[in-house]
Structure formats: structure tokens, C-alpha cells
Structure 1
């Protein structure tokens, strides 16, 4: 009987995620992280892949590592230090992203233990390209074929295809990465392969720029066009004729997109939008100002949303022309600023250290090749400085890690260190998937139950009670449960329950300020005949959310007269 190798299983498990699990669809109310079901499915696969890699370590009796990967772990250790700061009262809210960071580094570590040969590493890139191809096909179906009332709830009026990701910019940075990957494989993979491979790569070189144009994403277009410029020196050196062909395919895709936009219904963004970062520039400016006030320790892990909201409201009173902040802003749309606001200087230096280690690695290659390799990771790196793609999409995080692994392997030799503690590694190899898989499976059941509850207008409380894993969607479950209690308290004029809601609401908005909770608290105070407290809270909410019409006096009175006790479940907070 032939014995199947663990690296072989690892590759096909990775392929199963890339070609299947990554594209899992289940209705959901939106958000980021585990609030998106395809990310839960992704972590199931990642935990199994980590287990396979750790078990392979015990078979090798060696730890395989690289200097760039070691820099990643050093940065992670530095990012843990702010957990010990005195202002880390809400640090538990940062644990999911730290866990995601650790999980990604373990996935990279597992890749290293498999010791793929050159052919195996090329296959990894083709699997990534196949995954991006499937998303491109889904994007084309959404843009050209879906009708109103479609089963996945795609907005055909806006018609900005988002694939599985539910956010056009996230789709755009993946398409830009696909463009870079197709171009790079056309140039660098000079093995004797079937002609169909060139057809596939050519199709991707047409499809990805087509989608980038119809998506009308600033960060996607900038990432794609800049990436092409980075590819050109190596491409021109390799073969000028091929370079012209590649440029022609990209131009054809863009031309098809422009023609399509003239005939296909959808939102048309003006040309001026591409030169204007919009309201984000104010978030970046005020984030820098907030870092200036707390440069060493930040405001505390997990406390960005509340601290930035209060700081921004105070700044609006002093700076003329500063526009109101959008509600539910839990990230400044820049990864460096996010870690700087919450953790101070240390985590920022950690991220910069890894970036410099990567640049130093690229310096090992001839400059043309270094630029081409940098182009592979450029679209996602750029996107991380204008939004938060790695929180929104596990696919982006894993794609970046595989590309870093591939570049690392190409440019420097791996280091092997003897390892004899087989029991510890095998225990971890079994424990990680044993913990993660049940958590994510029950999380999917919980997500489905809560989504059904909210889509049904909150009329079936039994769905909330059926949730098997409250931790997976704790914030959303908590909000819906307490809103239901408020509705019952209002209907039965239960003052004690109203006071309990107020106690809960004060604690909730301290951690997660949300318009719906403020609104419900104002109504609850009125029903408890505390109009002065209600007015103070209403004024506070108006200060934070000046554009929100729910806090206008006439709308409050209208809600009280109508007996409204809670806002619809669709107003529940997300991740």
C-alpha cells in the first residue's frame, strides 16, 4: 500500500480551500472577521494545514525556518507587549486579531516544514491564481448576468461586483494581485507546460483589468497600474515582443470594461473621485494627532473606536471644516495608524521592521527581478494602508503569506535545526484543529441562526436560543438579545428591565459605541420618566453623530408615541 506523504496532503488541503472553501457563501449581515462565514470556513482549513505541518516537523526531526519568517515572529512578540500596558482595559477586544496574526505565522511555519521543491512551489502559485480566477468568474457573473432579486442578494443597481467578499475594494485588490500573478507566471515560469496555460494566463490578463475598471476602486486601480509599472523592467528585458502582447491584453481588458460601462447599468463614479481620498484623509490626520497625544503606549488595545470617536468630536469643535465622522468607525483605514493609535510606537516599529526585512531580502535579487517580486505583494500591501483587507478577508491574508513564503524561498536558503521533542509538536498538531474546527463549525450554525433571526425581523426569539456558540458572534447576539428584552420591557412597562437595559447599554457603548444602542437608551430613559437624563444622553449622541436624524427631538417623540422600543435587527452592530 502506497503511503501518502503529508506535504502531498497539505497541498491538496490547501487546494481544497482555494478552490472550494474560500468561495463558501452563506447569507450574513456583513462585517469583518468571523462575521463573514467564508472566513470561518477558511480557518477550519488553516487549522488542519497547521496540524499537518507540525506533524511533518516530527517526521523530519528538523525545524525548517527562514530569517524573514523569524522576523515575523519577533514582530508578533513585540505586538504582545501593549497587552501589559496599564491602559489595556479592553485588550480582550484585540485578541482576535492577535490570534489571526499568530494563526497566519503558524500557517507560514507549516508551509516551511513541507519543504516543497521548486515544482511544488510553482504549483502553489497556480492554485492561488486558480482561486482568483474563480472569484473573477463570479465577478463577471455578478456584473453581466445577475438580475434584481438574485439569490445572493447582489445589488444590481450599484453593480460593483464584489465576488464573495461583499466589498468592492477587497475584490479589487485581489484582482490586482491576480493581474500581477498572471503577468509574473507568464514571464518567469519557463517550464514546458501545455498551451492551455498561456490561454488561461492571457484570459486573466484581460479579465482582471476589466474588473478593476468596472469596480471603479481607487486602491485597486492604483495597485494594478503601479504593479504593472514594477513588472515592466523585467518583462522588457526578458522579451520585448511578449511585453507588448501583455500590455495589449491588459489594454483590451480595460477597453472592454469601458464599453461595458456604457451599456451595463450601474453606479458611475466621476473621474474626480480617483484623485480624492475622501473622508479618509481626515481620519488619517486625526489618527496622527491622537498618536501625538499618546506616542508611547497608545490609547490601549481594543479601545480605538471609543477613543477616536471622542477625540474626533472634540476636534470638530475646534477645527472648522472637519466633516462628521461616519458611524461605527472601528479602524482608521490604515493599518500602521491603527496599531499606532492603540499600541503606541512599539507595534508600529514591529511592522516597519518586518517591511524593512522584506526590502533587504529583495535586495538579494537583481533590481529588475526585485521590482517584479515586490509587485506580487504590492496591491495588498497598498490596500492595507487605505482600508483593512486582512480583517475582512482571510483569503487576502493567506495569499500574502504564500507570496511572502514563495519570494523568501526563491531568494535565500532555508535554515534547518534538529528537533527531538516529537510529543509536544504532535500534541499541538492535534490540539489546534481539535479546538478550531468545532469552534468554527458551531460558529457557522450560530451565524445562520442570528442571520435568520434578523432577516425575519426579530420575530423568532427561539433562533437566538438555538445558537450553539455565542462567542463566535457575541456582540451581535448580545445586542439582539438585549433589544428583545427591551421590547418586552416596553410592552409590559417593566421598569426594572428598562434599568437593566440602561446598565447594559452604558457598558456596551463604552466598548462598542453604536447609534442603535444610544437611541434605545434615550427611549428607555424617557419611559422611566427621566427626561433630563434622556436629553443629556441625546445631546451626547448628537455630538458624536451629528447627521443622525434619529436623535432629533421630533423623531424621538415620534418613536415614543409609536411605542418603538428598539431599532430593527438590521441596525445591530457588526464586528
Structure 2
């Protein structure tokens, strides 16, 4: 493919959602309109790429081949999952396969060094914009609240979660160091080069400062590793410029620490956030997840059922584990696939890790050769490896790919650019023509799904913000527009029916809600659904079933007084 202005324009459009706040109910994945916009931009980018594809040879690398094999392996365990969990499982697998298709598309894009740098500058600019939003949230909260309403005292940019913001900032920091240190990024025009270096110096001061204020331990670790690895890889070749970059980052970090300390002492906007409770929660989650794996190591507990299985595993232990939060993810991507998919999913993840290690080795060998030849691209491969590190690290301590579609697409963009740069080409015997129509069709289908999902999510959000008093627009949604949010749609309908019971006293509404709630609690854990169902069951004099549910709910929500025996 030829990388021209059209591709660059659509890469830019991919990042436009970073400046747009849309009201949402929270959650993860496609429940967030931000993710729907980003995935829609990714689908649009894929379509434009394949529409403008010259009919050259297809590019398939060893890493690409390994990713395809991993996708096939990870799909297999869905056969054994429970029917009520299959919807969640299929959506996650669809995201995995769509990501592989996006990666394969970007692998075909032919770019010069300057065009590759332009893509990296776009990602860096997006990180800088998030840093400026953080400054507003911390030091001009009135302006920030008018743009991005939030009750969270911590800064989170547009991502709605500080740790997600931190890994994105750390990725931008790696790209800023690469652009500042490596001579291949230099501009020929001396005046333009002078302004470029000044801008990068400001960014190298600003991003570490903001990273300190976001107060994410994963972000702090990623920032330290980014700096340390750049020093380790390039200090011998570019000692002066590495020293300048390190001093700028150290200066930004020092200012950030001093302002954070003074803010805590003086009661200002910045206060240190304790992580003591988080430490204990992460430890118990890791311990219980490993215990689940030990109990069902071969087939796993079933795709899509971690939320249900994990909580019930905890309360069924002897003695029951104290539940401090309702976890939907074990905060480690490798463990999620392993605990749900068993040994087959573990093999898939280990194959992915092995492919990553081999790609890193190729990057090191490529840079060694390019430095020896004096090529302008020398050092870029290792720099891309370092830029991939923050999001990779974050995926082993949380779940950034579900909280932010942008993290998923940026990770795939950087990975494909690295693979294209260093990977041997294995697909020399096959042309791109057979791929064009299927990939175009896939891109258009994905764009349609994201557009309809965005529309139906907006309708549901408006109804929820209105207290579910007016459900006419929700009921008017056609099936093809609402199927993506079917679980949320049914939840809103049943809750609206329960509210209507207060006016109509129609007992059938209670029975409908009770039947739906018992199905819902087979795959989701929701304290309000438990509480409503208990009231209905006691009213219907189903005391045995109600007592079982009350005992279960009391273990899941030990601090909720609604589930105390004296309440009913």
C-alpha cells in the first residue's frame, strides 16, 4: 500500500475521540461510546487502506503467522462455555480477531521513514493533549468540569481511569524520547529542527510531571523502565543527547514530586492517593485466580464467565473469602485467558509471548546491522519495542484493552510498524487481490456495527439519564440497531417495568422481573438486582429460594445492610 495524505488524515481521525466527552454509564468495552467511536475510526481506516491498495505482494511475517495461529487456538475453548456466557465470550473473541485483521491491514501499508515518523508524532501529540487535559483537571477544575464532568478527585484525562491514562502517557514519553534522541527523526531545515527539538524538550518535561501527578504505580514503573531502557540501548552511541533527555525527564519528575508533596501538605488540589487497599485486593485476586486454575487446569471455567465464577468461587471456599469488590477481570490478561480457557488458551498465550520474544530479538539484530551500515532508521526498532512496553506492562496489571479501544489500536499500530520494519517477508508468492474484497467487506460491516451500536447506546443513555420514565425511543429501537447492547437493553426494560409496578400494581411485572433477574444473576453480579429480586421473592412467599439468595448476596456484599437477615 502507498501511505499518502488520505491514510494520514484517517489516522488523525482515529484520535479525534480523545477530545470528545460523551455521557456514558461507565463499564468496559462497547458500553463506552468512546470505544465505539475509536473502533469505528479503526474500521474506517481499514476500509480506506484496502480501497487504495495497489495489487502488490501480500506481506506475511513470522509474527503475523503466529498471531493467526494464536487466534485459532484461543477460539477453540468457546465451544465448552456455558450458554449464558457465550455472548460475552463471542464479543471478546470478535475483538481479538478484529484486532488481528487491523494488524494485518497495517502490516501491508508501505511507508517511508518520514511517513512512519508522522504516525508516531500523531500518537505523541495525542498523549500531549491528554497531559494538557490533566493540567486543566488539576489546576482549572471549573473549566475541566464544563468539558469532562466527573466526581473523581484524581485526574484521568479522557479515559475515565487514571491507570489507563498513565500507560498512554508513558507510551507518548517513549515516542518523545525516540524523536529527541535518534538522528533519523531530524529535519533538514535547521530552523524547523530547532523548533522541533524545543517542542520535544517541553514534552519531555511535561509528560513525566503529569505521570507523577496521575499517581499510577504501573505508570510510574513504565516511565522508569522507558527512561532506563533508552539509556541502556543508546547511551554509548548518543551520550550527549541521552544525557539531555534524561535531565529533562528527571527535572519534570522532580517538579512533579515537589508539587505533589506541597499539595498534600497544604491541602491543595493534588494529594497523595494511598494504594494500601489496592495492594491487598491485587494479592487476594492473584491468589484466588491461581487457586481456580489449579482446580480446573485443563478446560478452565468457561469463556465469558469470570465475573460469575470468580465471585462464587470465593464465597464457596471454606471459610469464604471476604469480597471487597466485584471483579470482572483478574487484572492480568494472560491469567484471564488461562483461567477461562484452560490449557488450550494457555498454549495460545505462550505462543504469543514466544512470538514477542523472537520479534524483540529480530529488532535487536536489525538495529545492530543498521547502526553498522549507518542507516537513518538505526535505533527505531528498539525504540518501538520500548514504546510497546507501557501498554504491555499495563495489560499484566489491569485490563487496558477493555477500558480503552485506543490502547488496543495503538498497540497494534506500533506492533505492525515494528514487524514491518524488522520481520522477514514470508508471503512473496501471493498477491493482495484475493484479500481486497473480503477485507473491504469486513471493514464496512465493522463500521456499520459500530455506528448502529453508537446510536443505540446514545438512546439508552438518554433514557437512563431521564430515570427510565420515557421508554418510547428505547422501545422504538429496531432489533438490528440494539442487538449489541441487548443485555443493557433488557436491564433497562425490566427496571422500567419495576418502576411502572409502583404505579399500576400489575403483579405480572414482578413475575417478569423475577424470571429475568434469576437468568441475569447467572452471568452478572449486581447488588441492586439481588435486592429487588429478594423483595419480590419474599412478597411471593418463596422463602426457601429467597433465603438462599439472601445468604449468597450477604457474602458477595458484606457491607450492604439490605441483605442482613433482620431486613426481611
Structure 1-normalised TM-score? 0.88
Distance 1:187 1:54 in 2: 34
SS of 2:58's equivalent?
A: strand
Which of 404, 407, 412 is the aligned partner of 1:396? Answer: 407
Residues 82 and 302 in structure 2, CA contact (< 8 A), matched pair in contact too: yes
Alignment pair present for 1:173 and 2:172: no
* CA gap 1:181/1:148 in 2 versus in 1, 3 angstroms: closer
Alignment counterpart, residue 20 of structure 2, candidates 8, 13, 24: 24
Aligned residue among 127, 131, 137 for 2:122: 127
Query: 2:304 aligned with 1:294, yes or no?
Result: no
| Pairwise CA distance, 1:5 | 5.8
Q: 2:562 aligns to what SS in structure 1?
A: helix
Superposed, 1:486-505 pairs within 5 Å as 486-505=498-517
C-alpha separation between the residues in 2 aligned to 1:89 and 1:30? 22
CA contact (8 A) 2:84 2:523 kept: no
Q: How does 1:199-348 map to 2 (within 5 A)?
A: 199-261=198-260, 262-263=262-263, 264-270=268-274, 273=276, 277-315=279-317, 317-318=318-319, 322-327=321-326, 329-348=327-346
Equivalent residue pairs, number: 543
Secondary structure in structure 2 of the residue aligned to 1:26:
coil
Are the equivalent residues in 2 in contact too, given 1:56–1:113 (CA < 8 A)?
no
Contact 2:21 2:148 in 1 (8 A): no
Conserved 8 A contact 2:292-2:339: yes
Matched with 1:542 is 554
Change (3 A) 1:281 1:538: same
Using the TM superposition, give the Cα deviation of residue 350 of structure 1 relative to its aligned residue in structure 2, in angstroms.
Answer: 1.4
Match of 1:187 among 149, 171, 181: 181
Question: Contact conserved, 2:55 with 2:431, CA < 8 A, in 1?
Answer: no
Structure 1 pair 421–250 and aligned structure 2 pair: CA distance change class (3 A): closer
Give the gaps of 5 or more residues in structure 1: 558-575
Other-structure match for 2:373: none
Residue by residue over 1:73-94, the C-alpha shift from the partner in whole angstroms, topping out at 9 and shown as x without a partner, is 1111110111223656622311
Match of residue 567 from structure 1? none
**8 Å contact 2:62–2:424 — kept in the other structure?**
no
User: Which residue number corresponds to residue 371 of structure 2?
Assistant: none
Counterparts in 2 of 1:189 and 1:466: CA distance versus 1, 3 Å: farther
Cα distance 1:444–1:303, how it changes in 2: closer, same or farther (>3 A)? Answer: same
Partner of 1:517: 529
Secondary structure in structure 2 of the residue aligned to 1:162: coil
Deviation at 1:507, TM superposition (A): 0.7
Aligned partner of 1:441 in structure 2 is: 451
How far does residue 466 in structure 1 lie from its aligned partner after superposition? 4.5
Distance in 1 separating the partners of 2:385 and 2:69: 22
The reply to whether residue 145 of structure 1 matches residue 140 of structure 2 is yes
For 1:53 and 1:153, the matched residues in 2 are separated by 33
- Most deviating of 255-264 and 245-254: 255-264
DSSP 3-state at the match of 1:227: helix
C-alpha contact 2:173 2:208 (8 A) present in aligned 1: yes
Q: Is the 8 A contact 1:132 1:175 kept in 2?
A: yes
Query: Post-superposition shift, 1:228?
Result: 1.4
Which has the higher mean CA deviation after the structures are superposed, 201-210 or 288-297? Answer: 201-210
- Tell me by how many angstroms 1:427 deviates: 2.9
SS class of match (2:59): strand
Q: Any idea what SS the aligned residue of 1:63 has?
A: coil
- Give me the CA root mean square deviation: 2.5
2:32 is equivalent to residue 36 of structure 1: yes
Aligned to 1:457: 467
SS in 2 for 1:62: coil
Q: Pick one of 6, 9, 14 that aligns with 2:11.
A: 14
Deviating more after overlay: 542-551 vs 94-103: 542-551
Show the counterpart of 1:106.
Answer: 101
Change (3 A) 1:266 1:323: farther
Structure 2, unpaired ranges of 5+: 369-378
Decide whether aligned partners of structure 1 residues 245 and 159 sit closer, same or farther in structure 2, where only a CA change above 3 A counts: farther
User: Structure 1 residue 34: deviation in Å?
Assistant: 1.2
Question: Judging changes above 3 Å, is the alpha-carbon distance between structure 1 residues 127 and 371 closer, same or farther for their aligned structure 2 residues?
Answer: closer
Matched, 1:85 2:97: no
- The equivalent of 1:355 in structure 2 is 353
The 1:89/1:297 distance shift into structure 2, 3 A limit, reads: farther
Alignment partners' CA distance in 2, 1:35 and 1:173: 21
The Cα of 1:418 is off from its aligned counterpart by: 4.2
Instruction: Pick from 529, 545, 551 the counterpart of residue 563 of structure 2.
Output: 551
Q: In the TM superposition, what whole-angstrom CA distance separates every residue of 1:548-569 from its partner, at most 9, and x where no partner exists?
A: 2222245x45xxxxxxxxxxxx
* Equivalent in 45, 50, 56 of residue 54 of structure 1: 50
